[in-house]
Structure 1
């Protein structure tokens, strides 16, 4: 089985290989346990998977004895590997005291490897239709790219006319807190722990570059790797939202951060 994740990463369950679809040379290979664990989570996308269920199906079922922190260690390894392949989205969500969750909107799968991806087989792979479409999902990075492109194109006209508002493609915003008196939103839902970390990082970026002012809102996005270790990419934009509907923004200023 080959899973497509976030429409950019492919994972083959048979041998634990995972690669960037656009750049097949960027790849990693999991050993048996992390490959088995990731496969189980992907096969159960849209379902809450408890730690006990993972321990029973990944270790106990095969007569293996897990250590006290086995699940956390391998989940961390999988997240790090996804980040190294360019996926900053929070694919595996941790639900405190409950377990782990992967949204079905982020995952599709095929019985064989897509023909555009290099494999070890000597036979040409047939064209394969995805058995599960990504229905209506707009990746957060695409939304950010559209925002930045819009600002770059329209900003010169604003200087000429001294009045121009921006309308962005519709996207769901999730409130995670406030920066001073300005509400703070993200482009994807986060666990309470991740939301708190993102709120803190967003406040630091805003204080340094785009402080809160009246009638303004912040939109922040970062990968989980950045939220926990402050390495990777993050983006914050501050906009005036005079009608308070989150659909009409003006006077936007964005800051892009990259930490190694």
Structure 2
């Protein structure tokens, strides 16, 4: 991402905002419902959203980047469990099941139609001189 742009979070399925700084899911339906995510769930969600697009995010890639890099024990079962818990939480906000699609028992595909980055422009603009 450009040095003048700071990622604040993600708008998910126009129903939910995920704050990167606070690791919290916030409802956009006016109910003020919010759920803070524990570290591993937050890391998994952020990684999936960051890598969203046409490429399959493999289980191995997730295990390395969510667990192994942080000195945590990884396994396919652990990935399945955390992914299932994350989907249950997102379902509580009525987010479409199509956001994360399981592909070929090998990984996940994130549907970009459901994801929008929320950014802040940090570049200082000079005023006065033209």
TM-score of the aligned structures, taking structure 1 as reference length: 0.41
- Per the TM alignment, residue 24 of structure 1 is displaced from its structure 2 partner at its CA by 4.7
Q: What's the offset of the Cα at 1:11?
A: 0.8
- For residues 95-139 of structure 1, what are the alpha-carbon distances to aligned partners after superposition, in whole Å with 9 as ceiling and x for unaligned? 132200111121111135xxxxxxxxxxxxxxxxxxxxxxxxxxx
| TM superposition outliers: structure 1 runs of 4+ over 3 Å | none
> What is residue 30 of structure 1 aligned with on the other side?
37
Please provide the CA RMSD for this pair: 1.5
**In 2, distance between residues paired with 1:81 and 1:63?**
26
Report the Cα distance in structure 2 between the residues aligned to 1:23 and 1:85, rounded to whole angstroms: 12
Paired residues of 1:95 and 1:101 also in contact (CA < 8 A): yes
1:50-69 equivalent positions in 2, closer than 5 A: 50-69=58-77
Partner of 1:86 in structure 2? 94
Is the 2:10–2:117 contact (alpha carbons within 8 Å) kept by the matching residues of 1? yes
Q: Distance in 2 between matches of 1:88 and 1:105?
A: 11
Per-residue deviation at 1:59? 0.9
Distance in 2, matches of 1:96 and 1:75, equals 16
Structure 2 CA distance for aligned equivalents of residues 15 and 27 of structure 1 = 11
Aligned residue number for residue 116 of structure 2: 108
Q: Could you say which structure has the greater relative contact order, defined with CA pairs below 8 angstroms and 6 or more residues apart?
A: 2
Answer yes or no: is the 8 Å Cα contact 1:19–1:26 preserved in 2.
yes
* Paired residues of 2:13 and 2:96 also in contact (CA < 8 A): no
Q: Is this contact kept in 2: 1:20–1:27, CA < 8 A?
A: yes
- Name structure 2 gaps, 5 residues minimum: 1-7, 121-130
Residue in 1 that maps onto 2:127:
none
Partner of 1:190: none
SS of corresponding position for 1:97: coil
Please, which runs of 5 or more residues in structure 1 have no aligned partner?
Answer: 113-260
Rg larger in structure: 1
Secondary structure of the structure 1 residue equivalent to 2:66: helix
